[in-house]
Chains A and B, each alone.
Chain A
Amino acid sequence: MLGLSSQPTMAVDMNLVALKPRLPAVISVLTLLLVCAPFIGLAVATSWHNFGFANGDGSAIAVSLCYSTLALILIIALGTPLAWWLARHRIRGAWLIDALLLLALLTPPLALGLLLASLYGPYGPAGGLLERAGLVLTNSGPAFVMAQFYSALPYYVIAARAAFEGVPRELEQIALTLGHSPWRSFVHVSLPLARLGLAAAIALAWVRALGEFGAVLIVAYYPQGIPVKLWVNLENIGLSAVYPLLWVFFLVAMPLPLILGLAARRRHLI
């Protein structure tokens, strides 16, 4: 009797054990399918027989790549020191800085464009001054870079700060006691130890900058980058002119974040 009564419980336990690892796997597959669906749709909807580009698609690709690269360089140059400083210094009112970064993240891209236009536009307080100095921040290359810079910078700073916060402060201090200047300690200890997170931050900034539509549309309708050109193609020609450019967009946008992710992971961090 005892043996019999214990068997059903055993069976239930076995089921639970077998179920546990399967459930996350099933959900993962489902989620991946959801992510895939639009791209499968794109592959089906693209008319591969008449695959061709609209007028100006080529220059849109060049504009996007060049200016996004410039914006990314600016973001890294200005955002990295800020991220490191935020990670390493506990100051009073730090929540204000957090709130400011959140504000920049929260602003809808279109609204960000409007704010930039009213500050840096020809009638804006900063725009007028800069224009006199020869820097036009409306419908120009610099305007394009500025819009990308503003929309991607907060993402980079927040991700890079988290990366630096993961570096034990003690290791930076040890580098100092070993005779290295703070700058060399940063280069030889902080940067390599934060590289996984920094690579993710750069990838994130690149994706944000390259894909930025709303802010760029307002302050730099010209020169047209890929996101704006997709919109123009849709308006002027139709969906058939959107898909080929979209494929190229994926093709040019993907390598940097992909390589960054792989490279950062490959250098082992035992």
Chain B
Amino acid sequence: MRIDYRIDRPVSLHAAFEVEGFTVLLGASGEGKSLLLQAIAGLTPALGEPFGGMPPQHRAVGYLPQGYALFPHLNAWQNVAFALHGPQRRTQAMQLLERVHMAEFADRYPATLSGGQQQRVALARALARRPQLLLLDEPTSALDPVTRDDVVAELIGEVHEFGIPTLAVSHDPHLAAVADRLVLMHERRIIQIGAPGAVYATPVNGAAARLLGHRNVHRGRIEGARRLVWQGSAIVLPIDAGDEVSGDVDWSIDPAAIRLVNARDALPDAIPASMEVRQVIGHSVQLGVRCGQGRLWVSMPADQAIPESMAVQLPVEAIRWWKRESA
């Protein structure tokens, strides 16, 4: 389903993209992502398609705001039955609750349910309206970090099962990673659209890389060919710039590509570093090391020894850079 919306107030925003399966619109806070969902749901003045000009009660959308907005005075099945009519509404509500595996909580009030359970009830309530489009606002923000991945897996499984195109807006790269389609928004513009794998592999610029949660995205400057200046002129990295280019850039390097070496070996192009934090992730370790004013993340196997006085080497071929657009 194609979304094309233009909002003037309170912020000016134009977004046009295709929603397929579970689509995530990834953007930083304050980009107006929630506003876009409200506009599609008809809750804020905007121009666009689909549903343009219709009052909210006539738009076939299922809208799950941040925090899910269950009715506190109704229990789970009454919340789901809110959009239903006729003598069968309780039965239908129970069927929907069963589909989201919440039937046993039918008589519970929202305040007694966990974040993930509330989300499933809200999903069932939105589905009761038979929407053509599901809108999820920051679906992971109210979830417990320990169970988040399971809750998200369940949510996406259900969305696929119901077969309704879903647009989730989020600033959470973890959610973006599980999308069928990823749309990146920066400074109120769509900057990249594609499958998550492709977008992750080739972000269009530094802002996109930061949104995707890439570590080691820094500002720098390219002076002449083959020289990247980072932190003023404190650290100069050789890069493979090809043609003569000069100017401000964003550059980045994969944490796994950085080599940790012993500073005493006095290797060429080694940047002295000191360790700040050691983060164990499964069988690998991410080290946060300080180089001057900046921080680099280095990924390495958990059993690799860390030299006492360390330095890092950044292989030229692993550095990516994007020219910064002068604002």
Chain A residues within 8 Å of B, Cβ to Cβ = 168, 170-171, 173-182, 188-189, 192-193, 267, 269-270
**B112, A173: Cβ atoms closer than 8 Å:** no
Shortest C-beta distance, A189 to chain B (Å), equals 6
Indicate if the CB atoms of A170 and B83 lie closer than 8 Å. Answer: no
Q: Which of B58-66, B181-189, B207-215, B308-316 contacts A (4 or more CB under 8 A)?
A: B58-66
Report if B217 contacts A (CB, 8 A): no
Question: What residues on B are CB-neighbors of A168 within 8 Å?
Answer: 69
With A270-B111, A270-B112 in contact, do A177 and B56 touch (Cβ < 8 Å)? yes
Given A193-B72, A193-B73, A269-B72, do A179 and B112 touch, yes or no (CB 8 Å)? no
Chain B contacts with A in 90-127, Cβ cutoff 8 A: 109-112, 125-126
Contact B83 A179 (CB under 8 A): yes
Q: A176-B43, A177-B43, A179-B83 are in contact. Are A170 and B57 (CB under 8 A)?
A: no
Closest 3 CB pairs of A and B: A178-B83, A176-B56, A270-B109
Which B residues are in CB contact (< 8 Å) with A178? 57, 82-83, 125-126, 128-129
Chain B residues contacting A192 (CB-CB under 8 Å) are 73
Cross-chain contact A173 with B73 (CB below 8 angstroms): no
- Known contacts A175-B82, A270-B109: A180-B57 contact under CB 8 Å: yes
Q: Which of B43, B55, B73, B129 is packed against the most chain A CB atoms within 10 Å?
A: B73
Inter-chain contact total with CB atoms closer than 8 Å? 59
Chain B contacts for A189, CB-based, 8 A: 71
* Cβ contacts under 8 Å, A170 to chain B: 65, 69
Asked whether A174 lies within 8 Å of B111 as measured between CB atoms, the reply is no
Most buried by B among A174, A181, A182: A174
Question: Told that A173-B38, A269-B72 touch, could you supply 14 new A-B pairs with CB distance under 8 A?
Answer: A170-B69, A174-B63, A174-B65, A174-B69, A176-B56, A177-B61, A178-B83, A178-B125, A178-B126, A180-B83, A269-B73, A270-B109, A270-B111, A270-B112
Q: How far is A270 from B42 in the complex, measured between Cα atoms in Å? A: 30
| Shortest Cβ gap from B14 to chain A (Å) | 23
Assembly CA distance A176 to B58 (angstroms): 8
For B55, the closest partner residue in chain A by CB is A176
Q: Is the CB of B57 within 8 A of A171?
A: no
**Is B41 positioned at the interface, with any CB of A under 8 Å from its CB?**
yes
Nearest A-chain residue to B83, judged by Cβ: A178
The A interface, classified by DSSP as helix, strand, loop or mixed, is helix
CA gap between A47 and B198 in the complex, in Å: 93
Residues of B within 8 A of A179 (CB): 57-58, 83, 129
Closest to A178 in B: B83
B72 partner residues in chain A, CB cutoff 8 A: 193, 269-270
How far does the Cβ of B67 sit from chain A's closest Cβ, in whole Å? 8
Residues of B within 8 A of A269 (CB): 72-73
Contacts of A180 in B (CB 8 A): 57, 82-83
Given A269-B72, A269-B73, A177:B42 Cβ within 8 A: yes
- What's the Cα separation between A106 and B85 when bound, in Å? 48
Bound: A16/B37 CA distance, A: 54
- Inter-chain CA distance A213–B81, complex, in Å, is 49
Whole-angstrom distance between the alpha carbons of A85 and B69 in the complex?
Answer: 22
Knowing A192-B73, A269-B72, A270-B112, say if A177 contacts B82 (CB, 8 Å): no
Cα(A168)–Cα(B63), bound, Å? 16
Q: What CA separation (Å) do A189 and B82 show in the bound complex?
A: 10
Q: In the complex, A174→B112 CA distance in Å?
A: 20
On chain A, the residues within 8 Å of B73 by CB distance are: 192-193, 267, 269
Chain B residues within 8 Å of A177, by CB? 41-43, 56-57, 59, 61-63, 129
A174 to B62 CA separation, bound complex (whole angstroms): 9
For A188, the closest partner residue in chain B by CB is: B82
Set of chain B residues within 8 Å of A182, measured between Cβ atoms: 57
- Name the interface residues of B31-62: CB closer than 8 Å to any CB of A: 38, 41-43, 55-59, 61-62
CA of A177 to CA of B55 in the docked complex: distance in angstroms? Answer: 9
Closest residue on chain A to residue B56 by CB atoms: A176
B96 CB → nearest A CB, Å: 13
Known contacts A174-B63, A188-B82, A270-B111; A181 and B69 CB within 8 A of each other? no
Q: How far is the CA of A180 from the CA of B129 in the complex (A)?
A: 10
The residues in B between 145 and 201 inclusive whose CB is less than 8 angstroms from any CB of A are none
Chain A residues whose C-beta falls within 8 Å of the C-beta of B83 in the assembled complex: 178-180
Complex Cα distance A217/B128, Å? 58
How far apart sit A175 and B73, CA to CA, in the bound complex (Å)? 13
Interface centre among A171, A177, A192, A269 (most CB of B within 10 A): A177
Distance in angstroms between the alpha carbons of A216 and B41 in the assembled complex: 51
Q: Which of B61, B71, B72 has the most CB of A within 10 A?
A: B71
Q: Which residues of B contact A188 (CB under 8 A)?
A: 82
Q: How far is the CB of B208 from chain A (nearest CB, A)?
A: 31
Min distance, Cβ A167 to any Cβ of chain B, angstroms: 10
The residue in chain A whose Cβ has the minimal distance to the Cβ of B60 is A179
Among B42, B57, B111, B126, residue most surrounded by chain A Cβ atoms (within 10 Å) = B57
Which of chain A's residues have a CB closer than 8 A to the CB of B41?
A: 173, 177
State in angstroms the CA–CA spacing of A177 and B41 once bound together: 7
Alpha-carbon distance between A80 and B63 when the two chains are bound, in angstroms: 29
Residue from A175, A176, A180 with most neighbouring chain B CB atoms (10 Å) = A176
Interface centre among A168, A179, A193 (most CB of B within 10 A): A179
State the CA gap A189–B74 with chains docked (Å). 10
